[in-house]
């Protein structure tokens, strides 16, 4: 796990490069589409999408919807699915939903309830994989080694 943590740390975003900030006192209802980097400290009821972007979810943030981005760091509460090349769950994270990721980092104390699926990347999924995902969630009917 140290290798993965080092790799994720190398990809950390310079705080000066955040394009959009949704403050702690902000509540949004609806889908959010962005480019670049977004930091969320408020409450969003809707999806958050930025295919090549970076999402940083603060420890007091609440997201009720799906998240799709190249890099996602979760410190708050998410109820919804997350699809990301690089997904980091901080110790304060609470995620209830399914995860698709190429790289995952989880700090001790993070809470997760759902299914996990490793993929080649957010842009490498195809219709066949999506169909398998809907029909047979990860972990079901898979052979186990004895």
pLDDT tens digits, residue range 13-45? 555 689 999 999 999 999 999 999 999 999 999
**Owning domain of residue 29:** 2-124
What is the pTM (predicted TM-score) of this model? 0.75
Contact criterion met (CB below 8 Å) for 13 and 56: yes
Of 41 and 8, the structure prediction assigns the larger pLDDT to 41
**How many domains is the chain built from?**
1
Find the DSSP H helices in the chain: 2-10, 127-135
The answer to whether position 143 is within a domain reads no
Confidence of residue 48 (pLDDT cuts 50, 70, 90): very high
pLDDT of the residue at 13:
54
Residues 6+ apart with CB under 8 A from 94: 76, 77, 78, 110, 111, 112
Collapsing DSSP states into helix, strand and coil, what is residue 9?
A: helix
The answer to whether position 131 is within a domain reads no
The answer to whether position 14 is within a domain reads yes
The answer to whether position 25 is within a domain reads yes
The answer to whether position 130 is within a domain reads no
The answer to whether position 141 is within a domain reads no
Sign of the CA dihedral with 50 first, then 54, 69, and 81 last: negative
The answer to whether position 33 is within a domain reads yes
């Amino acid at each position: 796990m140290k290798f993965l943590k080092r790799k994720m740390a190398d990809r950390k975003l310079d705080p000066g490069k955040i394009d959009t900030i949704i403050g702690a006192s902000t509540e949004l209802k609806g889908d959010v589409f962005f480019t670049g980097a977004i930091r969320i400290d408020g409450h969003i009821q809707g999806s958050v999408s930025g295919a090549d972007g970076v999402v940083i979810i603060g420890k007091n943030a609440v997201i009720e919807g799906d998240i799709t981005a190249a890099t996602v760091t979760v410190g708050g509460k998410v109820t919804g699915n997350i699809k990301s090349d690089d997904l980091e769950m901080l110790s304060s994270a609470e995620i209830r939903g399914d995860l698709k990721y190429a790289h995952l980092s989880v700090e001790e104390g993070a809470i997760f309830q759902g299914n996990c699926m490793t993929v080649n990347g957010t842009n490498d999924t195809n219709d066949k994989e999506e169909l398998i995902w809907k029909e047979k969630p990860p972990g079901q009917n898979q052979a186990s080694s004895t």
